[in-house]
A and B are shown apart, each in its own frame.
Chain A
Amino acid sequence: MAAENTAPAIELINVSRRFLSPTGKSLTAIRDFTMTVERGEFVAVVGPTGCGKSTTLNLVTGLASPSAGEVRVMGAPVKGIDPRIGFVFQTDALFPWRTVIENVMAGPLFRGKPKAQAQASARDWLARVGLARFEQHYPHQLSGGMRKRVALAQTFINGPEILLMDEPFSALDVQTRVLMHEELLRLWSEAKASVVFVTHDLEEAIALADKVYVLTAGPATVKSVYTIDLPRPRVVAEIRYEQRFIDYSRTIWADLKEEVETSYARAAA
């Protein structure tokens, strides 16, 4: 048991994932993919559009299984959906027929917690994301940023040890996005979860993460890994003007640019 506790949060070892297209052709989404996420580490994954970034997350959740290689969570191979994992989606995945508080309560209730306890805990989380006044609203009555806060509360209430985020803020406007970054970093530092944050926005990746994985154009594999040595706590709104941030940005972009161009050329061909 003691040995298991020190195992990395997530390990992907030489993982490949093929799937069948609707016409029955075999397509490779990712190949020979190796990645390690330590406990409490914030990892960002960047890569060209459609290269298979989301597939890596689905492998960790257990919603998809690898065609080859091994995926381990907390040292053990992934079998089915792991209750220690939380997932924030790119699109709106809230239940529109439930009020805000009912949405946040969903996780604990699904997991068999008593209703009163789920409600109390949901109230607490809504207060933490600043939505205490909106308990009884329905998702369509909220702005995009508020809906994302609900999604964060909905995920964090389950106390995930691993947090997977699939371009969670890509649909938000720039100002809201920065606020959400601050919010996320605050929640993360309190929860001490390990995070994999998939994005196509390099600056977002650098501002948030300890490590940035750059993927190749599809089929995706790891091209390079950068350790972002910027002090925490970070002020996302201001960090982008620091020299070291700009240096990171320039270096990683040079690397990423090639892949983006390859991917673009392929799409155009």
Chain B
Amino acid sequence: MTDATVNIPTAAFRPGTSDAEIEAAAAKAAAHRRHTVTFWRLGILVVFLALWEIAGRTAWIDPFFYAMPSTIAGRLYEWITEGTSEGPLWYHLYVTMEESVLGFVTGSVAGIIIGVALGRNRMAADIFSIYIKVINSIPRVVLAPIFIMILGLGLASKVALAFVMVFFVVFHNAFQGVREADRAMIANARILGASDWQLTRSVIVPSAMSWIFASLHVSFGFAIIGAIVGEFVGSRYGIGLLINIAKGSFDAAGMYAAIVIVMVVALAAEYLMTMVESRLAKWRPQPLHETQ
């Protein structure tokens, strides 16, 4: 988050206006602004969905390829209440989430540990940087067939793919965060008596934390990509499989419905992450005005 402050339009106050009046006016203006934002946000969504629906119904776009909000909602309802052709929706969702979360956790832990270790050791960083660059240049999704060949159709191959998607992003940020740690702060800790390990644990890692968090935000999305791509290439369960089957049976509504599910999950994860971050980062200066 940047420290953007909200410009509350200030009315001209006559001399003698009390603080309470100024505050009340500011609160009113802020509430008004919030309502306007919410109104437009919802309005744009409604208009977009309505246009889509109308375009589909009037056959201006072909609903066979583009589906319509109503058929997508219908498909979602059907999946939720009756389950999919491949079994209950919740089980597929559970499998995909399990793969993503495992890949995300292992990938980010490994990324943080190796990033911090190499960030602290210049020699090792110089030696390994070339390999990391080389491996990083591989588009991760091409590894999917290899992982499936080696690890099979089950959980392991998807976790491995999610892992490599997450690892490099987190690694780079952890490494950079360690490098950017303030020199005076490090010198201060050392003179205060910190050993190398204490320095890493209580100065380097916390100061790299904002960098690491920035990467965690995007990398959960990457973990989901890894899991779903893995499911495309070969799997028995998962949202990726649902999309694949919908594609095979030209079920546009099913594909969009699966996308909606992934969207909801990714947004929920992002929300959760922001909550955790703001808890951990309560030491950071807050912007003066805050709106929800």
Contacts and interface: CB of A to CB of B under 8 A. Distances in A.
Is B truly associated with A?
yes
A117 B120 CA distance: 31
A107 B192 contact: yes
Nearest to B285: A140
Interface string B93-111: 0000000000000000000
Main secondary structure of the interface of B (DSSP, over half): helix
Given A81-B190, A95-B203, A110-B195, 19 more contacts: A61-B187, A61-B191, A81-B191, A90-B184, A93-B184, A93-B185, A93-B188, A95-B202, A96-B283, A97-B207, A97-B281, A99-B283, A106-B192, A106-B202, A110-B192, A110-B194, A154-B188, A154-B192, A158-B193
Contact of A95 (B185, B191, B198, B284): B185
Nearest to B182: A93
Given A96-B283, A110-B198, A89 B190 contact: no
B184 A98 contact: no
B83 interface: no
Contacts of B189: 95, 106, 110
A202 interface: no
A121 to B, nearest CB: 13
Main secondary structure of the interface of A (DSSP, over half): loop
A140 B195 CA distance: 26
A61 B185 CA distance: 15
Contacts of A67: none
Tier of interface size on chain B: 20 to 34
A111 interface: yes
Nearest to A99: B283
B154 interface: no
Interface in B235-254: none
Interface in B111-159: none
Nearest to A98: B283
Interface in A178-202: none
A89 B192 contact: no
Contacts of B209: 97
Contacts of B195: 110
Interface string B201-232: 01100110100000000000000000000000
B206 A93 contact: no
B191 A87 contact: yes
Interface in A139-163: 139-141, 154-155, 158
A77 interface: no
Interface string B249-292: 00000000000000000000000000000000111110000000
Nearest to B195: A110
- Chain A CB within 10 A, most for which of B190, B283, B285: B283
A61 B195 CA distance: 15
Nearest to A111: B193
A138 B283 contact: yes
Contacts of A107: 192-193
A90 B187 CA distance: 12
5 contacts: A89-B188, A93-B185, A95-B203, A95-B207, A106-B189
Contacts of B193: 81, 83, 107, 110-111, 158
